Structure 1
Amino acid sequence: MTGQKLNVLVLGGTQFVGRHIVEALLARGHGVTVLTRGRTPDELPETVERLKGDRNEGTAGLAALEGRAWDACVDVSGYTPGQVRASAEALRERVRRHVFISTGSVYAEQHRHPIREDDPLLPAAAEDVTEVTGETYGPLKVTCERIVQEVFGERATILRPQIVAGPYDPTGRYTYWIDRVAAGGDFLAPGNGSDFVQVIDARDLAHFTMKVLEEDIPGVFNLAGPRLSWREFLEVAREATGSNARPVWVDEATLEAQEVGWRELPVWLPAMSEQGGLMDMSSDRAQAAGLIHSGPLTTARDTRAWSTDTPQKPFLTPEREAEVLASLARG
């Protein structure tokens, strides 16, 4: 497919990762069609063709695809085997390459350092499982990957991104830290600065996806960005926001005693914890195939530029943070 303009079908495509993929494809001159349920407004350009469909309804929900064909498909919204089975079977003879956006959460041994593509996966979920929870998310994606590989064979590409960061992020996990540093003052920082943060910029993910389509690249790829210590990460956030905020490092045991955990401190995974390897995912294979990193400072600056006027999901509230810091100061 190298050098030619492609017609690409994106399953999803209006939010965050899908939006960045669509924008990257359009910027390169490719044609884009998105298939969504049409329940929420989108900010995609008018040049994007919009089809309405619902994979939860099986074949009946994909009537909009009938009589159509594309050069490639990118699935950014497949979470259950039923959804992915329906679209994969419907598109088997309608696309040449199928890219499935999976997750780094498929790995069984998440304490490994580093985590590589050939490491063991979690037990696959049954195809009739439809509830997506913290416990089923990884196993469901394992099953979805296998369905895509079964249907498309060498025409399948599986991308396993780590935590994705950047503008339009609805989760607010990475954004919380950039905004908290921007707010200034003393702030609670987990650990002692020696744990690690590793995210993938959504734009880097999008451009690698486009490269896979343009060069017709098969295989399985981890997508992860530069690995920074927490001390380095927060320094990047300070530089990106021009803030003089000062981290107050609080060790894991003290945080636990204060009943402050990952729900309040998103993205933090102690390096030697059971999931610590998720902050040490190797992207060597993807880099060899053309993954390029924008750089941590670019991600932080652009995220802050977007979040300044975009309300974010609360994690550790200012009131709770002040309460914990005051308690620590009292000893």
Structure 2
Amino acid sequence: MRILVLGGTRFLSREVAAQGVARGWDVTCACRGQSGAVPHGATHLPWDRAQEAPPEVADGGWDAVVDVARLPSQVRSAVAATAEAHWVFVSTVSVYADNSSPLMEPLLDPVTDDVDLAVDPEAYGGMKVACEQAVAAGAASSVVVRPGLIVGPGDPTGRFAHWPQRLARGGEVLAPGSPDDVVQVIDVRDLAAWILVLAERRTTGVLDAVGTPVPISRMLAEVASGVGSDATFTWVPTGFLEEQGVQHWAGEGSLPLWLPRPEYDGMLAHDAGPALAAGLVLRPVAETAPDCLDSPVVALTPEREAEVLAAWHAR
């Protein structure tokens, strides 16, 4: 297989390129190269995607192209240059307009212009819809995969890594919301391996790229098992956490994986069945957890967690 990875220096695109090399494929990574080096064994093809595609992109004779981009103009130009290849486009479950439902409809309205997410972060899902449409309209054949929360080594967000690191410290752990809230994650290595399967098989269609949905209490128990933790959980209701100023989902002062309910009941509860039938293989969360102990984390600090727990017990 001769494969073009658009990117190849960070997280998912880098993992795709690395696994492609490990399979013995001819892998080229087209990118600026400013975010890091491409994997050993892959070829770096310099390309600032704000510029026109260089001849090497159009003349590469690619069997498949893998793209994770979010800017519609970049996807349109890349598809135009490589239309004969089989495209695997990595989209997101954020294309769905109704986060309360796990159904794959309706989609957001497409945002066809390139929008700076620092100015308008809400444009992300709509831009991905426009990217999907560009791929479907321009590529000879294509498959769109829509991941939920991607986790594992190399994750720059820390949205999952908080939990292995917190549970490894042991003690009383502040657990958010209801233990029955459904969540799901997918290990970046499993997603990358599946993307290569889809490329090799020239699979077509649209698939949610997600792990098995489970109650958050079960997921955290598996994380604890994976890091050898004997921590205990104190489940604190959403209303109290919000009164205490704890933030949802990610970032400073947050409890990752915690989402407003029922508004986001469907975001981390998509059906993994079609992806599994199409060749996705998932590792247990307990195997992912220890590989996240060195990942960067920005979340609720230990001191702030202790304050919230103390307030809960004193209520």
Note the alpha carbon deviations across 1:42-94, whole angstroms, 9 max, x for none: 2611x21001111122x1x5455253221111002x1111111111112124x
Residue 115 (structure 1) shift: 2.5
2:298 to 307, 314, 323: 314
Structure 1 partner of 2:3: 8
Q: 2-side partners of 1:29 and 1:70: how far apart? A: 15
Indicate if the aligned counterparts of 1:62 and 1:87 stay in contact, CA closer than 8 A.
no
Indicate if the aligned counterparts of 1:25 and 1:210 stay in contact, CA closer than 8 A.
yes
Q: 1-side partners of 2:64 and 2:74: how far apart? A: 18
Look up the equivalent residue of 1:89 and give its one-letter code: A
The answer to whether 1:151 aligns with 2:134 is no
Matches within 5 A, 1:249-328: 249-262=235-248, 263=250, 264-270=254-260, 272-304=261-293, 307=294, 310=295, 312-328=296-312
1:84 to 75, 80, 84: 75
Runs (4+) of structure 1 exceeding 4 A deviation are none
Matches within 5 A, 1:149-228: 149-153=136-140, 155-228=141-214
Q: 1-side partners of 2:245 and 2:137: how far apart? A: 45
Residue 150 (structure 1) shift: 0.6
**Per the alignment, do residues 97 and 210 of structure 1 end up closer, same or farther by CA in structure 2, a change over 3 Å counting?**
same
Indicate if the aligned counterparts of 2:3 and 2:27 stay in contact, CA closer than 8 A.
yes
2:228 to 231, 235, 242: 242
Secondary structure of 2:207's partner?
A: strand
Residue 17 (structure 1) shift: 0.7
2:62 to 70, 83, 95: 70
Look up the equivalent residue of 1:131 and give its one-letter code: D
Look up the equivalent residue of 2:35 and give its one-letter code: T
Look up the equivalent residue of 1:268 and give its one-letter code: W
Look up the equivalent residue of 2:272 and give its one-letter code: S
Secondary structure of 2:88's partner?
A: strand
Indicate if the aligned counterparts of 2:152 and 2:291 stay in contact, CA closer than 8 A.
yes
The answer to whether 1:23 aligns with 2:18 is yes
Residue 234 (structure 1) shift: 1.4
Residue ranges of structure 1 left out of the alignment (5+ in a row): 1-5
Q: Give me the identity figure in percent.
A: 39
Q: 2-side partners of 1:265 and 1:62: how far apart? A: 44
Matches within 5 A, 1:45-64: 45=40, 47-57=41-51, 59=52, 62-64=54-56
Look up the equivalent residue of 2:282 and give its one-letter code: H
Indicate if the aligned counterparts of 1:226 and 1:296 stay in contact, CA closer than 8 A.
no
The answer to whether 1:115 aligns with 2:100 is no
**Per the alignment, do residues 88 and 175 of structure 1 end up closer, same or farther by CA in structure 2, a change over 3 Å counting?**
same
Indicate if the aligned counterparts of 2:58 and 2:82 stay in contact, CA closer than 8 A.
no
Look up the equivalent residue of 1:232 and give its one-letter code: R
Structure 2 partner of 1:3: none
Q: 2-side partners of 1:235 and 1:189: how far apart? A: 11
Q: 2-side partners of 1:43 and 1:330: how far apart? A: 52
Indicate if the aligned counterparts of 1:53 and 1:63 stay in contact, CA closer than 8 A.
no
Look up the equivalent residue of 2:95 and give its one-letter code: V
Indicate if the aligned counterparts of 2:224 and 2:286 stay in contact, CA closer than 8 A.
no
Q: 2-side partners of 1:24 and 1:256: how far apart? A: 42
Look up the equivalent residue of 1:234 and give its one-letter code: L
Secondary structure of 2:65's partner?
A: strand
Q: 1-side partners of 2:178 and 2:135: how far apart? A: 42
Indicate if the aligned counterparts of 1:196 and 1:269 stay in contact, CA closer than 8 A.
no
Indicate if the aligned counterparts of 1:194 and 1:230 stay in contact, CA closer than 8 A.
yes
Residue 261 (structure 1) shift: 2.2
Number of residue pairs matched by the alignment: 309
Note the alpha carbon deviations across 1:191-243, whole angstroms, 9 max, x for none: 13111220111111111111111111111110111222121111111111111
Greater helix fraction, Structure 1 or Structure 2: 1
Secondary structure of 1:38's partner?
A: coil
The TM-score with structure 2 as length reference comes to 0.93
Indicate if the aligned counterparts of 1:54 and 1:62 stay in contact, CA closer than 8 A.
no
Indicate if the aligned counterparts of 2:161 and 2:297 stay in contact, CA closer than 8 A.
no
